[in-house]
Amino acid sequence: MATAKAHTNIALVKYWGKKDPKLILPQTDSLSLTLNEFYTTTTVNFKSELDADHVSIDGQLIDKADAKKVIHVLELVRSMSGINSFAEVTSTNHVPTAAGLASSASAFAALAGAASVAAGLHLSRRDLSKLARRGSGSATRSIYGGLVEWQKGVDDASSFAKPIAEDVAFPIEMLAVLINTKKKKVSSRSGMQLSVSTSPYYEAWKKVVARDMTAIKAAIKAKDIDKIGHIAEENALRMHALTLSADPGFTYFNGETLAIIKTVEDLRSHGINCYYTMDAGPNVKVIYDRANRDKIVARLADIIGYDRLVVSQPGPGIKIWNE
């Protein structure tokens, strides 16, 4: 038996589309910030007396159909380790599930870590990153803390994450604006697939990401929060342009999303530098220098309330321990 704690990450340069859905190989590279405030804790216990895998999330036992991706990762671990026992998986999400807050990233990173150690495997962080990817693409980045790059690779062996700056030595912060924490109507996986197959702009998107990856790594090296924020904001808008240009078109935004975006732009026009990004969900994440936190929080609280704002600093990589 082993337990792992992994934190969510929010992509600053997005991954939006797979070239191999089975292996979860992405169409592009991506780069993210791991957050300290959102995380998943998972315990895996392989038991010889079980006749099937039992998966419990937030105190609720889930059926085999809903546990399909979890069982897939367990099968990979059993194949790698030679263990034959089924597992009891108990997971607690300290992040809303399927709401565009990267719950799958922390969930599958924690699952990969706990299951591999419980099965007696001693994986390197790179190999753990590859295993987590098989559950959820963004989970590959949650093995590491701070700023992390996912190299798209060309096969299972070459697609993994690596740290850019695990100890972030400049005052970047991210404010999560919790607009709607319910499960979204269009999943990330189906949204990506539709965008890749029907958006006329998808080939241009891949070129955008390549340019943004080069630019944001230079900005990180320079510790330029404004440049990082600007690149992240533009990249997010272009990702969401793919959903609008799909057939049929769809969006993850709602009215409050647009109101928060407008407020961030208004703050910036008044000399308070901050930038927004959004994943596959209505919730907005705001990037800024720590020195501007109080003004940004106060302004957004006027619109949405303090209880729906969560300030995050760069978070740590995965932690795993035996029970």
Residue type, 291: A
Tens of pLDDT, residues 37-88: 999 999 999 999 999 999 999 999 999 888 999 999 999 999 999 999 999 9
Length, in residues, of the chain: 323
| H or E segment and range at residue 57 | strand 54-57
Residue type, 158: S
Q: How confident is the model at residue 95 (pLDDT cuts 50, 70, 90)?
A: confident
Q: Output the pLDDT for position 98.
A: 47
Mean pLDDT computed over 90-102: 71
Tens of pLDDT, residues 185-194: 888 889 999 9
Structural contact between residues 313 and 5, judged by C-beta atoms closer than 8 angstroms: no
Q: Which numeric CATH code is attached to 172-312?
A: 3.30.70.890
Whether residue 29 has pLDDT greater than 50: yes
Contacts of 246-250 with CB under 8 Å at 24 or more apart are 246/191, 246/194, 246/195, 246/198, 246/199, 247/194, 247/198, 247/199, 250/186, 250/191, 250/194
Q: What share of the chain in percent tops pLDDT 70?
A: 98
Which tokens is 54 given?
A: 């039992």
CATH class of 2-169: alpha beta
| Domain segments of the chain as ranges | 2-169, 172-312
